Structures are given as structure tokens and as C-alpha cells.
Homo-oligomer: A and B are copies of this chain.
């Protein structure tokens, strides 16, 4: 009992440090003046050092290890917390300090070499850094002694319980079912009115429309806010303070709208978590995949539906009468669901998106498993793009160099993006049995959908694993066919009927 109290006090203290660092991070990402960063790095360095000491000092290890050794006797929720704490602790203390420091330096330099390589579209510049990042991660994985295969350790880091066995099965379904379907869709070239997409839309009115969407999605303004930033993101410390950003491109209005809806999905998840988890390690969304399932559900399933735009297109037209004067709501609906084979993942549409992820997953897996050499990546990448999407990147910048992830050491992260869409489709399948979703959207009552998700998923924070949630909400284990069926149904109607 005394150890449990110590654990609770420790968790709370650590959370307080994380809280202030998070707030500084929000400031850094949304408004801090450029000149403030060197001083900031120094000051936050001091605080991070104290936090690191607190997280790793002997007394902390003793508390965590003692509870871990008695985990069988603990209440299941406390046990889940202790297991998380033990996993996090091991990740830090099992890596020799000099290697950890060395790796941080490698990551710093990799950022620069990646930017440079991307700018010059020359993979050779980034190659040595990429090699080091994979080498170090393989070495680190070895220290953890999890008994898992190396790449599985990476995958499990971003999505608890998902390993190559599950992802291979998942991506095989997508490969078999979607690749031929996508090719069929891409063959159709319907005449559509969509030049209005790229017209000039002023930022002030885009911002007004995104502000309007906040209420459409029933986001609680008392416990959050919207701001702008270069890269849209969601930020939260607890359900009482959830913020998100979007960005305003004057020549591509969809960017602000769908970034806002996407981030509102993440933000709604965080706002609806029960605050009772605040002082535990079970706060926050349960995994990358489940988080992404929420953002993509709001963005694609709701935000790109005809029903949605039938209600909200008039508001959009009111703000942009000139740009939309000959554009019907059906034209608009078709434009927001336009399918195209394209090189850049972040600009890809809902249907071709999974192809982009499959390329990355296959390459990461082969690289981690030493089935391919770093120098072969550009060729392999381009070959797979041809295989999945029928197009070949003209250079490394629009190919293997496009994403920031690997240069930041994020290996095993990509698959969660598509996994999120697949989870979303499976949840959606269940939701449709209990709610008349089209009617809800048509009546502008999205709050009802929020409440369903709160009750079934959101409230639990990370007290349940992704797999538990899937089982409890949908009555079955992960089944990617819901995703395949959802995409086929939607895009058959849009392109093949």
C-alpha cells in the first residue's frame, strides 16, 4: 500500500513536469518567436534533465520494480499502469547512456541531412543517416529482451498487440482486394467540374468556415480551442484542455477544411475521455491506430459524405459566393472525393492512401529484417509505386525522401495510419446498426455520434487496449474486410456506376 502511494505521488509529479513541457511545446509550435528558441532550449533542457532524473532514479526504479514483481496481485487497472510504467522504464534504462546520447546526435543530424537530401532530391545525402538510425534501433531492440522479433518490438511500440503476423495478414487483404479495385477506378476519367477547388479563397473566410465546423462537430469550446500552424496537429494535456490547429492555403481550400475535421476527430476523442484517468498512466487515447480511427472517421466518413455537405455547403457558399457560383453540392461532394494516382502520401485521397502506406510498411520490414540494403531503397520504392498505383516517381524527393518519419527515428509508425481507417470502418459497421447516421448528419446532430463514441470508446482512455475495444464494441477481433467493403461501396458509387 505504501508503495502504491509512492507510485501515485510519483506519477503525479512526473505528469506535472510533462504538463509544463507540453505547454511550452504548444507555444513553440504555434506562436513562439523565432529568436526565442536557443534560450528556450537551454531552459527546457534544465527541466528535462530534472524530469529524466526523476523518471530513472533508483527510488523510482524500486517503486516500479516492486509493484511489477507483485503485478499478479494488483487490481487489473493498476496492473495495466504498472506494466506500462515498467515498459517505459526499461526502454530508458536498458539503453547504455553513451549510446542513447550518440543516438540523439544522430537524429539531430539526420533531420538536417534529410532536409538537405529532399531539397536536392538526392537520396545519397540521407543514406548514411538512415543506415545509422536503423542500425541503432535494431541494437536498442536487442537490449529489451522482450522475446519478440525485432521489427515487432517497433510495431508494438506504436500499436499495442500488433505484430508482423497481423499486419501482413491485413496488408495481404488490402493488396488482393484493393489494388485491382483501385486500378479499375483509376481507369475511369469522368468529366467533372472541379477547377473551383484551386481558386483563391481568402484566409479570413476559411477561418470563419473552420470556426463554424467546430460547432458542427460539437467540440466543447470551454475545454479547447483552434489555432493555426504550419503542420496541423492536435495537442492535449487532459480532457479539460484539448487544442488543435489547421492551416490556411489560399489556393487549396480543402486543406483547412479537412485538416480541421481530421484534428477535430482527434480532439473529440481526447475531450471525451473520462477525467478520472487524469492522474494515472491510463489517460489519453489508447493507441495511434485507435486515435487515427477517430480522426479519419470524422474526416472521411462524416466529412466527405454527401449528407454532410447537403447541410453545410450553403454556409460555405455564403462565405465564398464567387468561387462556388456554378458549383452544385453534388459537384462539391465529388470533388472532395476525387481519386487520383499521386506520389505524395499526405496529399493522397482516401482510396489510394493505403497503397502509400503499404510501400512504407514493406520497406521498413525488409530493412529491419535485413532483406534489403539501404542503398536499394529508391529503386525498390519506385518499383512498388508502379506495382500498387501504376506510377513511377521521377525523383527521390517525390519518392523515398518525402516523409519526415524515418529521419526522426519513427520506425513502425506508418502502418497505424491505415490501421486507423480500417478500425474506423469496423466501428462504423457497428455504429450503423445502432444509429441512423445519415439522418443524424442531415439533421446536424453530430453530437449524437460523439456520444456513441464516448460511451463505447472515448471514455476509457487507454484503460483498454485497442484489441479489447474492438472486441467489446464490435463483437469481433480486427477484421479488415469492413474497410475493404466500405471503400468499394463508396467508390463504386462514385466512379463505377
Q: Which residues of A contact B (CB under 8 A)?
A: 12-13, 15-17, 19-21, 23-24, 26-27, 31-36, 38-40, 43-47, 50, 220-225, 227, 237-238, 240-241, 243, 275, 278
Residues of B within 8 A of A227 (CB): 31
The one of B17, B36, B240 in contact with A240, judged by C-beta atoms closer than 8 angstroms, is B36
A40 touches B241 (CB 8 A): yes
B27 touches A26 (CB 8 A): yes
The one of B20, B27, B35, B46 in contact with A43, judged by C-beta atoms closer than 8 angstroms, is B20
B47 touches A240 (CB 8 A): no
Residues of B within 8 A of A21 (CB): 20
- With A39-B237, A39-B278, A237-B39: A16-B222 Cβ-Cβ less than 8 Å: no
A20 touches B31 (CB 8 A): no
Q: In the bound complex, how far is the Cα of B36 from the Cα of A278, in angstroms? A: 12
Q: In the bound complex, how far is the Cα of B360 from the Cα of A310, in angstroms? A: 63
| Nearest residue, chain B, Cβ from A35 | B223
A33 touches B278 (CB 8 A): no
A241 touches B19 (CB 8 A): no
The 7 closest A-B pairs by CB, nearest first: A16-B46, A36-B241, A35-B223, A20-B20, A19-B43, A35-B222, A16-B43
Q: Please tell me how many copies of the chain the complex holds.
A: 2
Residues of B within 8 A of A43 (CB): 15-16, 19-20, 237
B237 touches A33 (CB 8 A): no
B35 touches A47 (CB 8 A): no
Given A13-B50, A19-B43, 16 further pairs, Cβ under 8 A = A12-B46, A13-B46, A15-B43, A16-B46, A17-B47, A20-B24, A20-B43, A23-B23, A23-B27, A33-B221, A33-B243, A35-B223, A35-B224, A36-B237, A36-B238, A40-B241
A240 touches B16 (CB 8 A): no
Q: In the bound complex, how far is the Cα of B34 from the Cα of A220, in angstroms? A: 11
The one of B23, B39, B44, B224 in contact with A24, judged by C-beta atoms closer than 8 angstroms, is B23
Residues of B within 8 A of A20 (CB): 20-21, 23-24, 43-44, 47
| Nearest residue, chain B, Cβ from A31 | B225
- With A20-B44, A46-B12, A46-B13: A35-B241 Cβ-Cβ less than 8 Å: yes
| Nearest residue, chain B, Cβ from A48 | B16
Least CB distance, A218 to chain B, in whole angstroms? 15
Q: In the bound complex, how far is the Cα of B39 from the Cα of A340, in angstroms? A: 46
| Nearest residue, chain B, Cβ from A278 | B39
Residues of B within 8 A of A243 (CB): 33
The one of B39, B241, B275 in contact with A238, judged by C-beta atoms closer than 8 angstroms, is B39
Q: In the bound complex, how far is the Cα of B241 from the Cα of A34, in angstroms? A: 9
Residues of B within 8 A of A40 (CB): 19, 241
Least CB distance, A8 to chain B, in whole angstroms? 13
Least CB distance, A279 to chain B, in whole angstroms? 9
Q: In the bound complex, how far is the Cα of B23 from the Cα of A50, in angstroms? A: 18
Q: In the bound complex, how far is the Cα of B17 from the Cα of A17, in angstroms? A: 10
Least CB distance, A242 to chain B, in whole angstroms? 8
Least CB distance, A481 to chain B, in whole angstroms? 41
